[in-house]
Amino acid sequence: MKTRSLVTIADMSKEKIMYLLEMAHEFEKNTNRKILEGKVVATLFFEPSTRTRLSFETAANRLGARVIGFADPKITSGTKGETLKDTIMMVSNYADIICMRHYLEGAARYASEVAPIPIVNAGDGANQHPSQTLLDLYTIYQTQGTLENLNIYMVGDLKYGRTVHSLLLAMRHFNPTFHFIAPDELKMPEEYKEYCEQQGIKYKEHKEFNSEIIKDADILYMTRVQKERFTDLMEYERVKDVYILKKEMLKDTKDNMKILHPLPRVNEIAYDVDEDPKAYYFQQAKNGLYARQAIICDCLGLTIDDVKNDSTILK
Ligand code: CP
């Protein structure tokens, strides 16, 4: 079914990305607007989440929509054998848009093909997390003043981390230089490296993680080792603490450098790093609200002019 779904950032042009960032900026200026009054937003989370679900729900609430959904699929009729298709068709009877996280790669694409209403991919397995990418791009722009020509260092679980996969695809428009820092077990998958080669994107791989390696970074994008994706938990135990960012590693980094992390953090950033002005992951998570307000509005067919001309702004 052809709707205004957001399944992958790979579908999005540079102009569309910049447009959504501009819309997100409008929401940062004023988050409370009743432009979605009468709409119902469904959040279907088949996998755990704190930030993504709550920021989608806050985004909807602050725009005057109502929210239905579930955070725990064990309380749904999926446990009785209802298929994803039937669940999506049912919820489409009640809501105007579905924000869905699912453990299966491709689940959002499938849902978007069967649903008569827009689907927003809130993460599908180790595949994509496009709403995270939009908030990451917003944060990069906010901290660097540009998205162009940046040195982006991705650290940790580059195999299973859907946020780094999505970010890599989105950055193709902006001439980045990537540095992939991962142990052999968690290397960036070949398909993404081939994508870089096809797109002419420069990248370098490292196994070491130290102050010398990261000294040219504009963005240091830390990631959690994704325990839930491992079939062999012994292997997870071997790699889980492979890289830990410590405060002393920051002293020779560039002044403009910012540390991002999609969160949740487990052990990969020491807590004393939080006090450093280069730590930006909590502000990054806050930007998720504005980015998701823009995504919901865009998928429901509202334009930036609708947002700018809104007369229902709540002070
Ligand atoms: N970044 C992110 O997706 O966080 P949650 O898993 O808490 O939603």
What's the CA dihedral at 67, 73, 77, 80 to 10 degrees? 180
Residue range 261-276: mean pLDDT, rounded: 97
Confidence check: pLDDT of 314 > 60: no
129 is catalytic: yes
Q: How many CB atoms lie within 10 A of CB 202?
A: 12
> What pLDDT does 49 receive?
97
Relative to the CA of 288, which ligand 1 atom is closest? 1
The rounded distance, in Å, linking the Cα atoms of 48 and 60 is 19
Q: Residue 295 CA to chain centroid, in angstroms? A: 12
pLDDT band at 3 (very low <50, low <70, confident <90, very high): confident
- Mean pLDDT, the chain, whole residue set: 96
Give me ligand 1 centre to Cα 285, in Å: 9
Tell me the backbone φ, ψ of residue 64, rounded to 5 degrees: 90, 0
Q: pLDDT-based confidence at 70, cuts 50/70/90?
A: very high
Residue closest via CA to ligand 1's atom 4 equals: 51
- DSSP-based three-state secondary structure for 102: strand
List 159's β-bridge partners, or say none: none
CB count within 10 Å of CB 279 equals 22
Tokens coding 28: 């940062």
Is any atom of ligand 1 closer than 6 Å to the C-beta of 228?
Answer: no
262 in ligand 1 pocket by Cβ < 6 Å?
Answer: yes
What is the residue with the minimal CA distance to atom 1 of ligand 1?
Answer: 262
Query: Which helix (DSSP H) or strand (DSSP E) does residue 286 occupy?
Result: helix 281-299
Is this structure's pTM higher than 0.85?
A: yes
Which whole number is the average pLDDT over 129-140? 98
